[in-house]
Amino acid sequence: MSDVRSTSSRPQRRHFFLQACWLVWFGIVSAWPAHAQTAWPTKPIKLVIPFAPGGVTDTSGRIMADYLSKKLGQQVVPDNRPGASGNIGSQVAATAEPDGYTLLLVLDGTFVINPHVFDKVPFDPLRDFSPIGKIGDSTTILVAHPSFKANSLRELIELSKSQPGGVSYGTSGTGSIVHLAGEMVKQRTGANLVHIPYKGGAPAIADALAGHTPLAFASAASVQHHLKTGNLKALGVPSGKRSRQYPDIPTFAESGLADFDINSWVGLVAPAKTPRAIVERLNAELNAALADPEVRGKLEASGIVATPGTPDAFAATIRKELGLYGPVVKTAGIKLN
């Protein structure tokens, strides 16, 4: 009788044993992702900057790298990968492991203009990246030589229509955000404006100072001194609201172009499928940095106004501007290859 009880209880004991093993294993597996997320980061993080060292974009990336290194407890290392208007560095980031150890500093032109002006770009700004957040907007100003007859955008538009050869404006290059700003003014008003592309903003400003080119679109930081000395005058800013740094300069909308709102911006993204917990942690640290007076001061010194926000809001900005600039590029026939 005892042998029967012993034999019949074996399957039951085996069932309880297997059930206990399953519960232990389930507990370990369930806890692992949470542990992995709290452990990140455990090694240095690479911040790909798709432009050469120096300049506003590179400077903003290095400011953020310094701050994030302190807050994350791991070094955030800038990695400059210039070339093809940002396409080369962006491809490096797009194909990296989505583990939180590769980030990309992204400029508006790379993500929302390049897909339209190049026949093919080696990444998809919507499919290949997880937006973290926008760092800030760079104020752009339309400036003119003091001898130029027009003193506002409205006057410029009317003057250009009376000039058989039109009025020239210089920019940092073909396909830049400021080139598109000029094209949008032309397409919306019929202004006779002639684009003069330069290899960077500095030579465009130099020719405006010398009077060789009557107009130039330039970053606020690069013309601040010249506006104070009177060597250049401001005709307007293409953004939707007046600049906090230059509150006396009217917007294009105030000069008759309703809803004209173009901003050059810089932000952070990660490769697509980067864990959401890591993206949210980076966004929180980014927003904390943008609230820090020292960081804000450094950004403003380089011409960038901090714009904290959510990953979803940044994604919406990218999607909206991709749709905005496509028709402008097509109508103007702008191509870079």
Question: Which sequence spans correspond to the domains of the chain?
Answer: 45-137+263-332, 140-255
pLDDT band at 10 (very low <50, low <70, confident <90, very high): low
CATH of domain 45-137+263-332: 3.40.190.150
Asked if domains 45-137+263-332 and 140-255 share a fold, the reply is yes
Residues whose CB is less than 8 angstroms from the CB of residue 136 and which lie 6 or more positions away in sequence, other chains included? 60, 265, 266, 290, 299, 304, 305, 306, 307
Q: How many CB atoms lie within 10 A of CB 174?
A: 16
> What is the pLDDT, as a whole number, of residue 15?
52
Q: What DSSP string runs through 49-109?
A: E-S-SSHHHHHHHHHHHHHHHHHHSS-EEEEE---GGGHHHHHHHHTS-SSSSEEEEEEHI
CATH class of 140-255: alpha beta
228-245: per-residue pLDDT in tens? 999 999 999 998 888 888
Residues whose CB is less than 8 angstroms from the CB of residue 69 and which lie 6 or more positions away in sequence, other chains included? 75, 76
13 pLDDT above the threshold of 80: no
> What is the pLDDT, as a whole number, of residue 239?
86
Q: Element (H or E) spanning 129, and its range?
A: strand 129-138
Pairing between β-strand 215-219 and β-strand 233-236 as defined by DSSP bridges: unpaired
pTM of the model: 0.84
Pairing between β-strand 45-49 and β-strand 102-107 as defined by DSSP bridges: parallel
